[in-house]
Structure 1
Amino acid sequence: MTFTWTTPPWLRIEDCTHMATTLTDAGGGRITVHSESVRGDDATEALADLLMGPGGTGSTVLRAHVVGVVIRRGIDLEWMFRPPVHAAVTSPGQWEISVKDDPDAEVTTFNASDIRSFAARLHVAYGAA
């Protein structure tokens, strides 16, 4: 895959533009969430920043217990501390992620399979983070 950016988001010196909420399976049908701010011109670039950015978050995102990542355009402290994200088991190993948010908010959801596939393509193109 060819990436269209001139400079990868994780190498840019710019302010963060999106919120990334990582959902992990805590067992017993429970989900834990972790939100942080990331850079990018769109949700895909923001996910790339999460996966390849400083701090080794990519290795955390790729663990087997990750359910998905929700990317929201804009920085919102309320979202960071209490993201309106819900995940429910639909079948063994399958989760449905829903977001209750402002209807004008730009929100994109990536499931675990999408994340792993994208991370593999990034690592082929750019090497390990």
Structure 2
Amino acid sequence: MTFTWKTPPWQRNEDCTHMAVLVADVGRGQISFNTQSVRGDDATEALADLLMGPGGANGAAVLLPGLLAVVIRRGIDVMWMAQPPIEVSAAADGELNIAVAGAQPDEVTAFSAADAQSLLTRIHAQYGAGA
């Protein structure tokens, strides 16, 4: 796979443009949210920055025990980062429903843990594990 960016987001010297929320199951029906700001021109680039940038420790973010999903929101909002308005519920088919209150459809993207792992695998194939 070839990526369309000229410079990978984790190697850019620019301000953050998105917020990333790691959604994890911490047991007993409890969900935790861990937020940070990331760079990128779109949600996929922002996820790549999360995975490969300083906060992602070259992919360690997808190894987070109980990781369910990563929600990427365009723009930076400190209040949103402090308490993301995300609701997680189980669907009848075993999948997860992730709802984000007050978000426009084009400003929020949810990636499953499998999606994040797949992107990390593709990045490592293109750039090497030590990218």
Corresponding letter in the other structure for 2:15: D
Describe the SS at the equivalent of 2:102.
coil
For 2:70, the aligned partner's letter is V
Whether 1:123 aligns to 2:124 is yes
Equivalent position of 1:37 in the other structure: 37
| 68-77 or 55-64, which deviates more | 55-64
Q: Are residues 1:5 and 2:5 paired? A: yes
Q: Which residue type is aligned with residue 61 of structure 1?
A: V
Look up the match of 2:68. 67
Aligned CA-pair RMSD: 1.9
Give SS of 1:54's match.
coil
Question: How far off is 1:104 after superposition?
Answer: 7.3
1:71 counterpart SS class: strand
Which residue identity does 1:38 align to in structure 2?
V
Percent identity of paired positions between Structure 1 and Structure 2: 54
Q: Say yes or no: does 1:21 pair with 2:18.
A: no
Residue pair 1:22, 1:61 contacting (<8 A) in 2 also: no
Residues 88 and 28 of structure 1: CA distance in aligned 2, closer, same or farther (over 3 Å) = same
Distance change >3 Å, CA 121–CA 105, structure 1 → 2:
closer
Shift of 1:61: 2.5
Distance of 1:104 and 1:93 partners within structure 2: 23
Report the 3-state secondary structure (helix = DSSP H, G, I; strand = E; otherwise coil) of the residue aligned with 2:124.
helix
Contact 1:62 1:115 in 2 (8 A): no
Task: Check if 1:90 corresponds to 2:81.
Answer: no
How far the C-alpha of 1:87 sits from its partner, in A, is 1.0
Deviation at 1:28, TM superposition (A): 1.5
State which drifts further: 73-82 or 61-70.
61-70
Q: Secondary structure at the match of 1:48?
A: helix
- Structure-2-length-normalised TM-score: 0.89
